[in-house]
Amino acid sequence: MSILPPSTRESCPVIVPGVRAFLFGSLLVSIPLLSFAMNQVSPIPAQRTGTASSPHVGSAMAVLATLEQAHVLPPEGTKEADHVIKSVIQFQSVFANSADPSVQNFVRRAVTRTQGEHAADVLAQFRSSGWTPEVLEALADADLHMPVAELRSLTTGFEPFNLSVEDFQRFMRLVRDGEQALASRGQNFQAVYGSHRKTMPGAPVR
């Protein structure tokens, strides 16, 4: 069951705890409230002292909109839906900001595996502007192919963010499900994400 009724699914509103953030088209985007939600769950110092930067807010919203368009999000108002929102926000902070060597080695190896010589540029964009489809897809692929022992080594890096390896695996499974669902309808995950990202806060100026 989708978060949205059939008549409004294509408008892709995503539920933030206590707030409906309307994501594109003629619907209203509630940036301050989503920023507040991000601040409540993210322990990194940069977000303790001020609101989350708009590129990171926008990228998180674009991920949620993409998963909503794929119809893979759990029902609105459930603990599962809230957990997805937390994971999108928190894992962005983990991989962009954690100083844990295991976490940084993991994301670097994952992106290098899929992006090759472009990995450094992809990671730099991710750290400055938040989620990109390349990073999401690289992490989802790594979740499938990395040894279990290496995944378990991420535990110490995840714990300060109140996350677990199981949380990561659930999020990555959702990304893969979204890719497959969109592909089954002749759509591309990266293209759908890019379309949503253009309408969100902090979108790159071209």
* Domain residue spans of the chain: 6-197
pLDDT band at 203 (very low <50, low <70, confident <90, very high): confident
Where does the chain show beta strands of DSSP type E? 14-16, 19-21
84 CB contacts (<8 Å, ≥6 apart)? 64, 67, 73, 74, 171, 174
Query: Percent of the chain beyond pLDDT 90?
Result: 64
pLDDT given for residue 201 in this prediction: 83
Q: Report the pLDDT averaged over residues 88-97.
A: 94
| Residue with the two structure tokens 């964009």 | 125
3-state secondary structure of 86: helix
35 has pLDDT over 80: no
Give the residue, 39 or 61, on which the prediction is more confident: 61
- Helix, strand, coil percentages in the chain from 3-state DSSP, rounded to 5: 65, 5, 30
pLDDT band at 163 (very low <50, low <70, confident <90, very high): very high
Mean pLDDT over each residue of the chain, to the nearest integer: 79
Closest CA to 62 of 198, 156, 205: 198
Give the residue, 91 or 8, on which the prediction is more confident: 91
Q: Report the pLDDT averaged over residues 74-87.
A: 90
Give the residue, 143 or 27, on which the prediction is more confident: 143
| Residue with the two structure tokens 């962009």 | 96
Query: Percent of the chain beyond pLDDT 70?
Result: 73
pLDDT given for residue 53 in this prediction: 62
CA angle 127, 98, 42 (to 5 degrees): 85
pLDDT given for residue 13 in this prediction: 42
pLDDT given for residue 33 in this prediction: 38
51 has pLDDT over 60: no
- A 10 A CB-CB count for 78 gives 14
CA angle 77, 171, 104 (to 5 degrees): 135
Residue 42 vs residues 24, 118, 160, 174: alpha-carbon distances, Å: 25, 29, 10, 21
Q: Do 81 and 75 form a contact (C-beta atoms < 8 A)?
A: yes
**What type of residue sits at position 165?**
V
119-128 contacts: CB < 8 A, separation 24 or more? 126/95, 126/96, 127/96, 127/97, 128/55
pLDDT given for residue 68 in this prediction: 94
In this structure, of 57-66, 74-83, 89-98, 150-159, the range with the lowest mean pLDDT score is 74-83
